Structure 1
């Protein structure tokens, strides 16, 4: 009986190793666990001056959800990458907190906004009490629902572009409050005898100029501190916004108030290649124009390019990282499919996933990667190099063997002889077995420029598929 059972087991394993066959039931599916933080990241990210990380970490959608204890309150980080970034921002947060608590700042704030100074102080001194919403990681990239959304992105883009016009103005040719301020001739003089709302248009123009000064001040302060001016860190956002708004009035020297402490954060982030300095130097619309020029080298659908650059999930910093990563790969085909997938991202975490997927391919293949083909398989991103090898980049913290992952791998597009999966973090034994049974080569702990320090790296130990 035991010999017969062994023969049947060997027969089943042999079937599952065949690349063209689906084997979703080879291993039991897993629930994503709660794990020790030390199993995901190196010790340097678990504690330091003024912060500590809860050792119990929930995995959600293949990404780790960390909780930091800081002097400013608890802070969530929804991946290892975001954890490293939030910790790198702490020196900048300390500097911002000190400045926005100072008497000089509060006096300037009172002069700037009069009776609302006390309210501003309350915002600065008592930031976000809670973060709304619970991220679901990047599991959608393996699921069926996002696949349907991705297939519809092109049509949605076309309709939106026709409705909003070339540059996003919903009424590009209509007369209205925002068109009254336009010049009527070549002498630069505004038209005479405007409508009753002309004064509103002029006030809007003045407000626009104030916003421009505010944006420049915010970027200047962020550059001095070495942080992303569009960071999603709620504590940094509030202090940075308050300081930039007061500084934009010209009555408060934010740069001198911050002082030399700003250099520390710059060293942490810049050395990792996390931030392209164009996001500090250029206004968002200029960053968008710069990135549009790069996307147009590889993408053929002009309407899709414009709509992608206005997606809320991609901040100017993430848009720039995305286009830089694409520029490094120089794909021969598939850029439009990538943008369609990018249009479906609805969170910072999902946007980062696509950026890091491109970076993983470039880091692993190097010069071999150039001029390959981007492929959208379902809702996932893959790369086919010039030699015909299919590469699946998965910038996840820890991959578990779920029904969605198994179903995704059993797609017919993956039934090729040469295929490699790149996993940024770690993978469970069951998920490694699932890949091996389907004929994949597995590389775990792939290092990429600016990537966070995962706990382990290098090739996984051999997997016994029996």
Structure 2
């Protein structure tokens, strides 16, 4: 299998696994019915229908019924005509389902007479999209620990632009790159997506429109059926979407560098962040925009420096969604004072003096890693006098045991925080 939503090849999986403590993984994820330690629990397993309802399956996908968890994020198995994929977390799953909806829209476009005629003028065949399910024989979906879970486990256990553009020069000169950005904008997806089937399909459509004398708008207007649903779903904020549509990757890079400099982020941290390939240019632009919304918040370089160290696409997406959640909290809930480093991970302090841990998390279970993570944060808060209390704000929920345990530590918990 050449394509994967999570893009975890056997080599990448081995590298990621090596980052976690072998002893802890053996304890938590060893096969067999071993009971959790006293006062701890196993992460809950749920059905896809319980999480997604009717969206558990669609015209070109099916979410496997058993949804596992590492105690922080849920792990979904996704079957599609392009392969069987592992998806870490509900936020990433939403992105992948949006990309599959975009592919379904392009399939309908491919069948329109207008598009077929334009393809002929461009001396191209209509897009050939994969059919027939390809199954993953390696069974990598059985491994439950996510990249985010590994980061939290490690925290608890330690008591110029040449060569940076995804656009090819020839594609830019012919207008193909610009057409692809507009197609992605209309579909509400990232033009630099790491999902190869969608990226290839958008490139082919862009070639047909650019070389076949067909505007992107006309191509979308010719789609049979209710095309508007996929086109409008999940579109980013208007300013961000238009910026990514209208600027080349090199222009985005220059704009992001200038905005980070205006925030007094060091040139070294800026270069490391902009050179990190696990982020797309759209991701980087969204992160910089969120950081700019945190006007007056100190220590933003801590977040930039940590984001530059993201080892995988999953961690990059987590960092993007998390900083957007932090910015929303700052604007709508309470003003934040600064970022503080806790075990090499940036948390926040409010202007009222409390430590605020704002996290993307599906269901927090009281596992060994969660218990250890809370213990070291408590230790740092007391030893370094980081705040007058701790507030944990999650995009998801906590189990009853996790809720009780956090309250026993004196933490305040806010579930389903805006993000």
Instruction: State the TM-score, normalizing by the size of structure 2.
Output: 0.74
Residues 411-430 of structure 1, C-alpha deviations (whole Å, 9 max, x = no match): 23233432100111122233
Q: State the secondary structure of the residue aligned to 1:227.
A: coil
Structure 1 unmatched ranges of 5 or more? 1-24, 149-165, 171-206, 449-466
Q: Does structure 2 retain, via aligned residues, the 8 Å contact 1:423–1:445?
A: yes
Give 1:352's aligned residue. 317
1:158-182 Cα deviation digits (max 9, x unpaired)? xxxxxxxx54679xxxxxxxxxxxx
Q: Which residue of 1 aligns with 2:88?
A: 78
- 1:210 aligned to 171, 188, 192, which one? 171
CA offset digits 1:405-461 (Å, max 9, x no partner): 22222223233432100111122233223322221101111122xxxxxxxxxxxxx
- Which residue of 1 is the match for residue 12 of structure 2? none
Larger relative contact order (C-alpha < 8 A, sep ≥ 6)? 1
- Matched residue, 2:20: none
State yes or no: 1:413 paired with 2:374.
no
Give the match for residue 74 of structure 2. Answer: 64
Selected match of 1:303 from 268, 285, 310: 268
Q: Judge conservation of contact 1:112–1:249 (CA < 8 Å) in 2.
A: yes
Matching of residues 62-141 of structure 1 within 5 Å: 62-69=72-79, 76-100=86-110, 124-125=129-130, 129=134, 136-141=146-151
Q: Judging changes above 3 Å, is the alpha-carbon distance between structure 1 residues 225 and 357 closer, same or farther for their aligned structure 2 residues? A: closer
1:36: which partner in 2?
Answer: 47
Which aligned pairs between 1:309-458 and structure 2 lie closer than 5 A? 309-366=274-331, 369-370=334-335, 372-411=337-376, 412-415=379-382, 416-448=387-419
Kept in 1, the 8 Å contact 2:49–2:56? The answer is yes
In structure 2, the residue matched to 1:461 is none
Q: Choose the corresponding residue for 2:205, options 231, 235, 243.
A: 243
The whole-number CA distance in structure 2 between the counterparts of 1:399 and 1:369 is 24
Q: Rate the CA distance shift 1:146–1:276 in 2: closer, same or farther, 3 A.
A: farther
Deviates more, 1:266-275 or 1:223-232: 266-275
Displacement after TM superposition at 1:46 (Å):
3.1
Greater C-alpha radius of gyration? 1
Q: In 1, are the aligned partners of 2:182 and 2:245 still within 8 Å (CA)?
A: yes
> What is the deviation of 1:335?
1.6
Classify 1:357/1:249 alpha carbon distance in 2 versus 1 (closer, same or farther; 3 Å): same
Residues 359 and 208 (structure 1), Cα distance of their counterparts in 2 relative to 1, 3 Å cut: closer
CA distance in 1, matches of 2:188, 2:45: 33
Asked if structure 2 preserves the Cα contact closer than 8 Å seen for 1:63 and 1:397, the reply is yes
Please name the residue that 2:6 is paired with. Answer: none
Distance 2:133 2:269 in 1: 36
Q: Which residue of 1 aligns with 2:29?
A: none
- The structure-2 alpha-carbon separation of the partners of 1:38 and 1:440, relative to structure 1 and needing over 3 Å to count, comes to farther
SS at match of 1:360: helix
CA-CA distance at 1:342 after TM superposition: 0.3
Q: Deviations over 1:50-88 (max 9, x none)?
A: 655333112146222223455666555322112223333
The TM-score normalised by the length of structure 1 is 0.67
1:288-327 superposed Cα distances (whole Å, 9 cap, x missing partner): 2222222223243112102201211211221122112212
Kept after mapping to 2: 8 A contact 1:418/1:440: yes
Separation of aligned partners in 2, 1:275 and 1:324: 8
- Match of 2:356, SS state, is strand
1:146: Cα distance to partner?
Answer: 11
298-307 vs 44-53, greater mean Cα deviation = 44-53
8 Å CA contact retained: 2:362, 2:397: yes
Aligned partner of 2:14 in structure 1 is none
Aligned residues: 365
Please give the alpha-carbon distance, in whole angstroms, between the structure 2 residues aligned to 1:146 and 1:410.
7
Q: 1:313 to 1:248 in 2, by over 3 A?
A: same
Tell whether the 8 Å contact from 1:137 to 1:349 is kept in structure 2 after alignment.
yes
How many angstroms does 1:373 deviate by? 0.4
Using the alignment, how far apart are the partners of 1:37 and 1:390 within structure 2?
Answer: 34
Give the deviation of 1:127 after TM superposition: 9.2
What SS is found at the alignment partner of 1:29?
A: coil
Kindly indicate whether the alpha-carbon contact (under 8 Å) linking 2:155 and 2:343 is maintained by their aligned counterparts in 1. no
